[in-house]
Structure 1
Amino acid sequence: MSNVVLLSTRRLPPTYFDQVREDLGDQNITIDVVGWVAPSAWVADKVNTFTLIGPGRMPAEPAPEPEPAESTDEAPDAVIAPEAVADPEAVVADEAKIAPAAAEVAAAGAAAASTPAAAAKPRPTGAKRVVKAVEWRARKARKVAGRMLPKAIKTSAPVKFLSGNRANKDLGKTYWERVLSRRDVLTTIDQADVVIALDAGAIWAGWNLGQRKAGTPVVLGLPAARRELDMMKAPTT
């Protein structure tokens, strides 16, 4: 049975490890993960170990679902208490109280409807209208320029490439330094048949491990790992 170590700086869902086994062509493969970010949910049933070397904490184990309680008792028939039934005389008295109040509300509404509405503010005309229009267009232009131009610059392809490349480079160095500082992580890597860097943030660590461990394949991505595992399983001539 082969043992692979996954180097990752991204948040991985539990279902991802099922995909790893499928892509590598071995459902019995042992998976150890060295992650900068904790997985999105409980993965103890999916991998051999998951070592978190970045910020945060591992997800808690989900609580078992309670078994539904079986009940054989039938619900008793509904019983209406005598005091819950309204007395006909009380209903008549309540209706007599409601009628005057409704009449008062109707009279108030009629009075409000007869009150003349406030006169609308006159719209500017002539030169004042031209000045107001120019001021409104100037305010709108300033808002559009202040809102759209920075966003267009930030989302342009060159800026996104440079910022993403710089972020991956900084994360890659930090990730590699943390790997070197953890004896348990180095021990796990020493026991691997193949080490797989899954993303751009883990490439730097993978390259350095490849220089230090000449006898262990260190590859980028699952397709390259599949080729290495297939060559290991191929009979030698």
Structure 2
Amino acid sequence: MNNTVVLLSTRRLPPTYFDQVREDLGDPNIVIDVVGWVAPSAWVADKVNTFTLIGPGRMPAQPAPDPEPAAEVSEEAPDAVIAPEAVADPETVVADEAKIAPAAAEVAAAEPAPQSAPQPSPQSKPVSKPKPTGAKRVVKAVEWRARRARKVAGRMLPKAIKTSAPVKYLRGQRATNDLGKNYWERVLSRRDVMATIDKADVVVALDAGAIWAGWNLGQRKSSTPVVLGLPAARREFDQLKAPAGNG
């Protein structure tokens, strides 16, 4: 029976990455299930067992099959064959074409003249929204002043502080924490995802955004190893393959 690994990821993964996963884990027949926040960069149905997208976006469409080669067309055209009935009988040809001209003119005169399309009626102008008054006006004014104050403060802050390493680190940590919490909440709310994790031999958090979900899964499922990164997953699979000691 093949081992099963569940990969927790919040980044966009290419299809070739899963070949690298099998190589790093030392098992070309391992079953891979992915719980991703972002859709893969291309079609991966032939690379993994399942890929469950729990974040925004859509899964890539299946590539179109290769077109079949078209049949070769001969450059020589077949000889044309004229049917006997296609040739007009000389006796049926009208000698004087001017005789049918008056009849054609009468038919043209009998046709009704084309009617002009009706002109569209002018649309009424949209009614403008009434301006806020009273308490609403005060709230709008306060919100406008707050937005203006934030813009002014952002301009006054020196660029050296904005681009400093501590500020970048704090911004990155805040974004990662928010992503990690959202990812874990989505994992916890999906029954199909939790059922997939229950069947796994090892659960691997691949990036920083999946660490929070991995830690919570480790607290909830002590019987299933939950690790960070593929090297730690390789050690867990090596222990599963090792024969149990005596006693």
TM range (shorter): 0.5 to 0.7
The match for 1:56 is 57
How far 1:70 moved relative to its partner? 4.0
Letter in 2 for 1:191: K
SS at match of 1:215: coil
Alignment of 1:219-230 (within 5 A): 219-230=227-238
Q: 1:122-166 deviations in whole A, cap 9, x for unaligned?
A: xxxxxxxxxxxxxxxxxxxxxxxx99x865444322121111111
How far 1:74 moved relative to its partner? 4.1
Q: What is the TM-score normalised by the length of structure 1?
A: 0.67
SS at match of 1:51: strand
Name the one with the larger helix percent: 1
How far 1:28 moved relative to its partner? 0.3
Q: Is 1:218 aligned to 2:229, yes or no? A: no
Alignment of 1:21-100 (within 5 A): 21-71=22-72, 73-74=74-75
Distance 1:70 1:152 in 2: 67
The match for 2:185 is 177
Instruction: Give the RMSD, CA atoms, in angstroms.
Output: 2.0
Find 1:159's aligned residue among 139, 149, 167: 167
Does the C-alpha gap of structure 1 residues 45 and 158 become closer, same or farther in structure 2, counting only changes over 3 Å? same
SS at match of 1:219: strand
Distance 1:150 1:53 in 2: 39
The number of residues matched between the two structures is 167
Distance 1:71 1:167 in 2: 59
Does the C-alpha gap of structure 1 residues 153 and 66 become closer, same or farther in structure 2, counting only changes over 3 Å? farther
Distance 1:70 1:154 in 2: 65
Does the C-alpha gap of structure 1 residues 6 and 75 become closer, same or farther in structure 2, counting only changes over 3 Å? farther
Does the C-alpha gap of structure 1 residues 75 and 204 become closer, same or farther in structure 2, counting only changes over 3 Å? farther
Distance 1:221 1:229 in 2: 13
Distance 1:75 1:184 in 2: 62
Distance 2:40 2:159 in 1: 32
Find 1:232's aligned residue among 216, 224, 240: 240
Q: 1:21-66 deviations in whole A, cap 9, x for unaligned?
A: 0100001000000000111111111100001111111111111110
The match for 2:11 is 10
Find 2:194's aligned residue among 186, 191, 216: 186
How far 1:221 moved relative to its partner? 0.3
The match for 1:141 is none
Distance 2:170 2:236 in 1: 33
Q: 1:172-214 deviations in whole A, cap 9, x for unaligned?
A: 0110011110000000000000000000000000000000110
Q: What is the TM-score normalised by the length of structure 2?
A: 0.64
Distance 1:181 1:211 in 2: 17
> Which aligned runs of 4 or more in structure 1 are off by greater than 4 angstroms?
149-152
Letter in 2 for 1:19: Q
Letter in 1 for 2:197: I
The match for 1:105 is none
Structure 1 residue ranges without an equivalent (≥5): 77-145
Distance 1:28 1:225 in 2: 15
Does the C-alpha gap of structure 1 residues 158 and 42 become closer, same or farther in structure 2, counting only changes over 3 Å? same
